[in-house]
Amino acid sequence: MAQLLAVLIDGLIYSSWLFIIAVGLTLIYGVMKILNIAHGSLYALGAYSAASLAGYWINHGYPPMGSYAVMLVAAILVGLIAGPVIERGLLRFMYGKDEIVLVLVTYAVFLILEDFVKLAWGVDPYFIAQPYGLLGSFDVGDLTYPNYNLVLFGAAVLIGAVLAWVLTKTRQGKMLLAVIHDREMSGAMGINVGRVYFITFTVGAMLGALGGTLTAPMISVQPGIGAETIVLAFAVVVIGGLGSLPGAALAAILVGIVRSAAVHYRPELDLFSIYLVMAVVLIMRPKGLFSAQEARKI
Amino acid sequence: MKHDPTLPILIAGSIILLAVGPFLPRWAMFLINVSLCYGIVVLGMMLLMRTGVVSFGHGLYYCLGAYAAGTLDQVFKISDMAVMLVAAVMVTALASAALGLLLRKYRDIFFAMLSLAFSMILYGLLVKTSSLGSSDGFNIAASRIAGITVAGTSVDRYVRYALTVVFAFIAGVFMHRYLNSHMGRLAGAIRDNELRVEYMGASVGNVIHVNYVISAVLAGGGGALAAIAVGHIDPEMAYWTTSGEFVFVGILAGTGSVLAPFLGAFIFETIRSFAYEYSPNTWQMALGITMLVVIMFLPGGLWSLFTRKRKAA
């Protein structure tokens, strides 16, 4: 019983993390039909900037509680710089190309950014563990969980709720849905599609970086974290149905619980379990759990 | 009809490679060996690209072929290169025939993602299999060929090299003939318009399935040969970045001719080995920029440079 509870709690924590890293990816795909491999690099950039900035903040004796604000600022900065540079500088010349070609374009961006990270931060790992332990911990049975996990959970719920609200309740969100539905028609109706793409990509980039900054205190920040994370985000997004927000949430929970069960009961199946879920879902529902019906085009 | 120089080039190239092999310095022989292995894999990618599907999980078969060769040595104590190669081809043919049953129904991004999932499943399994060395992999010793022990003799390296050249030659000739056959020509038609191919009475699913198996077998053969040449294998071979590299070299080379993958692989491996030596932290960046340039200005890959010139002349 205690173990089952641990599986659930671990699973929910992991689900929150998965949702945070995947939500930007699914947003960008939903609007722009780009499966953005560079999302992994934005995650890495976020983690590195958080490690640097929060490290600087703490080492200079500023109040440690402020490090959370610093991490948030780091994510916003990365999104605001990298998002526009990638979208305006490169992607906008590629719109209308094949989806697979767009994947390769973002793969190229991923490769470039991977080395950019190495050049800017070197290849040695960074650690900023302070924000992880700062908030104390809570006990469940004889297990102790740092309260930082609640921050993760809260952030996931908040991001999901805000995005859902913006998409369904605001004027901007409705315009976005119109663009998703029919790009050309909404352009003809006077929506500035280029601007919608620009804002979506920047917000998506910010969310990717935020995933990185929130993760940074829990891991050693080192080269390769982007490549590791992007495949997990792919798995979540593809399981949920590309471009679907509720799909990503459900997929994150599903994958999170399955993986945590695997880790507790059969640790050798850890990574395997995630991709098994992905393969099984794709086999049962080729376009993921929540996918829109598409008219067949000749 | 204009004369197609592909076959003579393949024959002449193989003979030259076999003839100069013994006189090459060790590093050059190794470089050619490894790039041929890579070229064989990319040859299979080329076939898939011609068919209009892109696999982001061909590392699966690359790794499977290598591990089929490796387990023969590790578990069954069989260290005959020829047997290893045959085993790799058979294992990957079986695996791809089975997975192809599923994948043949998928297209575009879903084909790419499902194949990625399969390769990551293998990666996840191998990383946790301690009897096969977990994430470190293990060394394999391919000491014999067709019953003759070559390990420790002066021709040891040359035999591995020659085996690769011969396999690459066979793969190249096969692919050249296949692309000009009825099935092979359907590939391009499917990429252009799948529905019309169905209307004309050909089975799109079958063609994709067959091409998938062929490309998987080439990836498996290339993986086994790479394992024999390098002498070490690890689960990284099934990681998605390995598969990404295959797609990358395929795009870089272009799908115009069976020679393109070998040329692309050779350029790629040469740049990689020198970049590792002189600037290990910027070589991926160079790759990324090259890829963007190729996608923007040479959608047909490097090979289109040749064909473009020929048309102008």
Contacts of A229 in chain B (CB under 8 A): none
Q: Which residues of chain B form beta strands (DSSP E)?
A: 138-139, 144-145, 148-149, 232-233
- What is the gyration radius of the CA atoms in chain A, in angstroms? 19
Give residue-wise pLDDT tens across range A263-295.
Answer: 888 877 778 888 888 888 888 888 888 876 665
Rounded to whole angstroms, the Cα distance separating B18 from B162 reads 6
Q: How far is B283 from chain A (nearest CA, A)?
A: 8
Best of A101, A111, A268, A296 to disrupt the B interface by mutation (most B CBs within 10 Å)?
A111
Cross-chain CB nearest to A104 (options B129, B240, B295): B295
Residue B112 has pLDDT above 60, yes or no: yes
Instruction: Find tokens 């879903």 and name the residue.
Output: B110
Residues of chain A with pLDDT under 50: 298
Tell me which residue of A6, A90, A36 sits closest to A211, measured CA to CA: A36
Share of chain B above pLDDT 90, in %: 15
Cβ-based neighbour number of residue A173 at 10 Å? 15
- Taking Cα atoms as reference points, which of B149, B130, B147 lies closest to residue B138? B130
Residue-wise pLDDT tens digits, B13-36: 888 887 787 888 888 888 888 899
Mean pLDDT value across residues B237-266: 87
**Are B113 and A234 an interchain contact pair (Cβ–Cβ within 8 Å)?**
yes
CA distance B60 to A81: 36
Helices (H), A93-190: 99-121, 130-133, 148-169, 171-181, 183-188
Closest-CA residue to B281 (of A44, A111, A200)? A111
pLDDT for the residue B310? 57
In this complex, the residue of B105, B121, B284 whose CB is nearest that of residue A275 is: B121
> What is the distance between the alpha carbons of residues A241 and A252, in angstroms, rounded to a whole number?
12
The span from the CA of A242 to the CA of B110, in Å, is: 10
Per-residue exposure over B185-200, b if at least 16 CB sit within 10 Å of its own CB, e if not: ebbebbeeebeebeee
Quote the CA–CA distance of A272 and B121 in Å, as a whole number. 5
Query: What are the tokens at B21?
Result: 């092999």
Structure tokens at B56: 């982001």
Q: Please give the full DSSP string across A227-258, using - where no structure is assigned.
A: HHHHHHHHHHHHHH-TT-HHHHHHHHHHHHHH
Q: Which two tokens stand for residue B268?
A: 């790629």
**What would the pLDDT profile of B174-227 be if each residue is shown by its tens digit?**
998 898 888 888 888 888 888 888 888 888 888 899 999 999 999 999 999 999
B90-106 per-position pLDDT tens digit: 999 999 988 888 888 88
Per-residue confidence band for B125, with pLDDT thresholds at 50, 70 and 90: confident
Confidence (pLDDT) at B186: 87
Can you give the pLDDT at residue A34? 87
Q: Which residues of B touch A265 (CB under 8 A)?
A: none
Mean pLDDT of chain B: 85
Interface test with A, best of B292, B296, B297, B298 (most A CBs within 10 A): B292
In our burial notation (b when 16+ CB lie closer than 10 A, e otherwise), range B111-126 reads bbbbbbbbbbbbbbbb
Residue B26's CB is within 10 A of a number of other CB atoms, namely 8
Contacts of A120 in chain B (CB under 8 A): none
Lowest mean pLDDT among A225-229, B58-62, B303-307: B303-307
**Cα distance from B240 to chain A (closest Cα, Å)?**
8
Query: Is pLDDT at B309 greater than 80 in this prediction?
Result: no
Buried b vs exposed e over A57-81: b needs ≥16 C-beta within 10 Å? Answer: bbeeeeeeeebbebbebbbebbbee
Q: Inter-chain contact A100–B54, Cβ cutoff 8 Å?
A: yes
Q: In angstroms, rounded to a whole number, what is the distance separating the alpha carbons of residues A100 and A94? A: 12
Closest Cβ–Cβ partner in A100, A104, A270 for B291: A104
Which chain A residues are within 8 Å of B120, Cβ to Cβ? 231, 235, 271, 274-275, 278
Where does the pLDDT of residue B312 fall: very low under 50, low under 70, confident under 90, or very high at 90 and above?
very low
Using the predicted structure, report yes or no on whether residue B143 has a pLDDT greater than 80. Answer: no
Residue B288 is nearest to which of A93, A108, A231, comparing CB atoms? Answer: A108
- Asked if the Cβ–Cβ distance from A108 to B128 is below 8 Å, we say no
**Cβ atoms B49, B211 nearer than 8 A:** no
Q: Do the chains contact at A110 and B296, CB–CB below 8 Å?
A: no
Residue with token string 């598969």? B243
Of B93, B118, B123, B95, the C-alpha closest to B106 is B118
Please report the pLDDT score of residue B212 as a whole number: 92
Rounded to a whole number of angstroms, the distance from the CA of B51 to the nearest CA of chain A is: 13
